[in-house]
């Protein structure tokens, strides 16, 4: 049987998962085009100063039926299993996460704790008389948890990750903060109700050799099923006829190449895909795609001449005095990622183009991270051996108040190309994790095998992706 040619743009986990599921059907001839010299995107690992490092804290977990089983099947004995230990720092205390009411009361003091209870009561009373849907992230959470909890945790968290919470769509809260309301939160605080597997991963997996083992395993499967991945490859043009992409013209290591294409799947940024598909020829589309907002990711790795530092897999820092939103020591995930007598802490945070953080020098960012770690008592200045700063543009989609109409316009325009599909976090402009990328790849492959039209698969996938939740 002749296999139908499929071209996939981008070899992060979004593109690789689609390639893996499609190649293993035996019905498609899969080629991935990756512009970077290496595969894996943000789920890849890289070598630095004797360590195998990830792009920030990555755990392997999924609440989507069947996805974790697929990943276990793929990775086998390479996966380690951990019982999750997370904490959050509030008011100078490190509190177990999920929170316990006794810890929270101790950290906040009785007055503050009482104020939270009163503001929750007020929110509950207002909820009884208000029928209107919340208009923003801020209103959604203040209504559910009361102003007190909102101001303590969710407001500073939003400022750190996405910017002004008043300008964020309520969907940002629904996807990112899955707890259904203050009543449920209090039941969980009192331990009268357990977190569900959809909101909290009690156990998770991690690949022994770093998270980059996952994209590598996917790439191996693609190759085993006759597919190929071209790295250092620049897509120059999509050649279209009769409303579909017929071939992709690219440049690989300086030489030209043309790939025939029955279907095109993209996991690259929508503005880049839009330009390839339409050039600047559609002003309304160009305006909508330019209006999609992203935050940039900054990772500061602090190298230490001590064997281990933290007890938790990661610790959250909603408070403004710390530049980072979270810290993570990868050696807790797998001791094999670095030398036994040294360790590294990764601090992650986000920022916007041109703001103070984006313009700050690497040395300045590292100094602010080290100062925060010292202040918390995690490290001593004299144990710091060095640092590495990585910046990554446009990785956090920002759901602003009119993102729904903008993304709808963008995807409806692109769906006019009858054999095009998008997948992944940036490709779909969807705030999601790697397990969701796996689910998207599986969903696309099943749709194409059934012979469904790509615009129909795309619409169904959008509805499915809207239900994804990030599990901490």
* Interface contacts to ligand FAD, rule CB under 6 A: 9-15, 33-36, 41-43, 55-59, 235, 267-268, 272, 297, 348, 395, 424-427, 432-435, 437
Report in angstroms how near the CB of residue 183 gets to ligand FAD at its nearest. 28
In whole angstroms, the minimum distance from the beta carbon of 375 to ligand FAD comes to 22
Residue with tokens 């979270």: 326
Task: Report the candidate in 429, 160, 462 with the shortest Cα–Cα distance to residue 292.
Answer: 429
Which pair of tokens denotes residue 347? 């601090």
> What are 179's two structure tokens?
């707890």
Comparing CB distances to ligand FAD, the nearer of 152 and 219 is 219
Least distance from C-beta 64 to ligand FAD, angstroms?
11
- Which one, 144 or 425, has the nearer CB to ligand FAD? 425
Q: Are 189 and 195 in contact (CB under 8 A)?
A: no
* Residue 126: CB minimum distance to ligand FAD, A: 35
Q: How far is the CB of 9 from ligand FAD (least distance, A)?
A: 5
Q: Which is nearer to ligand FAD, 271 or 335 (CB)?
A: 271
> Residue 163's beta-bridge partner residues?
none
| 434-449 helix and 454-465 helix, angle to the nearest 10 degrees | 150
Closer to ligand FAD by CB, 266 or 343: give it.
266
Structure tokens that stand for 465 in this block: 């992706």
Alpha helices in 56-136 (DSSP H): 67-75, 101-129
Angle (CA) 84 199 41, round 5°: 70
What's the CA dihedral at 152, 155, 157, 159 to 10 degrees? -140
Nearest distance in Å: CB 192, ligand FAD: 28
User: Residue 104 forms beta bridges with which residues?
Assistant: none
Q: In this complex, which beta carbon is closest to ligand FAD, that of residue 88 or of residue 152?
A: 88
- Nearer to ligand FAD among residue 372 and residue 427 (C-beta): 427
Cβ-closest position to ligand FAD: 12
Among candidate residues 182, 108, 153, 130, the one with its CA nearest the CA of residue 325: 153
């Amino acid at each position: 049987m002749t296999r139908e040619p499929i071209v996939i743009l981008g070899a992060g986990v979004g593109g690789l998962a689609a390639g893996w599921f499609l190649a293993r059907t035996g019905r498609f001839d899969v080629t991935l085009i990756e512009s970077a010299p290496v595969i894996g995107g943000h789920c890849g690992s890289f070598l630095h100063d004797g360590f195998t490092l990830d792009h920030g804290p990555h755990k392997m977990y999924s609440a989507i039926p069947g996805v974790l089983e697929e990943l276990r099947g793929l990775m086998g004995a390479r996966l380690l299993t951990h019982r999750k230990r997370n904490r959050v720092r509030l008011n100078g205390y490190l509190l177990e996460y999920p929170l316990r009411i006794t810890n929270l009361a101790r950290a906040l003091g009785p007055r503050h704790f009482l104020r939270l209870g009163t503001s929750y009561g007020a929110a509950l009373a207002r909820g009884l008389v208000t029928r209107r849907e919340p208009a923003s992230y801020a209103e959604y959470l203040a209504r559910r948890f009361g102003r007190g909890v909102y101001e303590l945790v969710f407001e500073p968290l939003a400022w750190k990750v996405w910017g002004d919470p008043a300008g964020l769509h309520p969907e940002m809260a629904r996807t990112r903060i899955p707890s259904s309301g203050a009543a449920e939160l209090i039941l969980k605080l009192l331990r009268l109700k357990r977190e569900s597997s959809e909101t909290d991963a009690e156990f998770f997996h991690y690949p022994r050799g770093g998270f980059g083992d996952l994209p590598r395993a996917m790439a191996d499967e693609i190759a085993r099923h006759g597919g190929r991945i071209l790295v250092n490859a620049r897509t120059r043009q999509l050649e279209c006829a009769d409303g579909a992409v017929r071939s992709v013209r690219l440049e690989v290591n300086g030489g030209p190449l043309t790939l025939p294409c029955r279907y095109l799947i993209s996991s690259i940024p929508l503005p880049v895909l839009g330009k390839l598909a339409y050039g600047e020829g559609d002003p309304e589309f160009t305006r909508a795609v330019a209006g999609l907002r992203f935050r940039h990711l900054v990772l500061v790795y602090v190298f230490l001449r001590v064997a281990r530092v933290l007890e938790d897999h990661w610790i959250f820092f909603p408070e403004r005095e710390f530049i980072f939103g979270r810290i993570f020591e990868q050696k807790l995930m797998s001791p094999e990622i670095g030398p036994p007598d040294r360790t590294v802490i990764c601090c992650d945070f986000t920022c916007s183009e041109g703001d103070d953080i984006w313009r700050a020098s690497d040395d300045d960012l590292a100094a602010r991270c080290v100062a925060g770690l010292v202040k918390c008592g995690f490290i001593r200045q004299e144990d710091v051996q060095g640092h590495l700063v990585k910046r990554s543009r446009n990785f956090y989609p920002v759901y602003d108040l009119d993102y729904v109409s903008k993304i709808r316009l963008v995807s409806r325009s692109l769906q006019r190309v009858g054999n095009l599909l998008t997948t992944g976090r940036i490709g779909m402009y969807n705030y999601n994790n790697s397990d969701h990328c796996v689910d998207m790849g599986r969903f696309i492959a099943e749709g194409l095998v059934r012979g469904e039209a790509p615009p129909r698969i795309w619409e169904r996938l959008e509805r499915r992706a809207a239900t994804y939740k990030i599990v901490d």
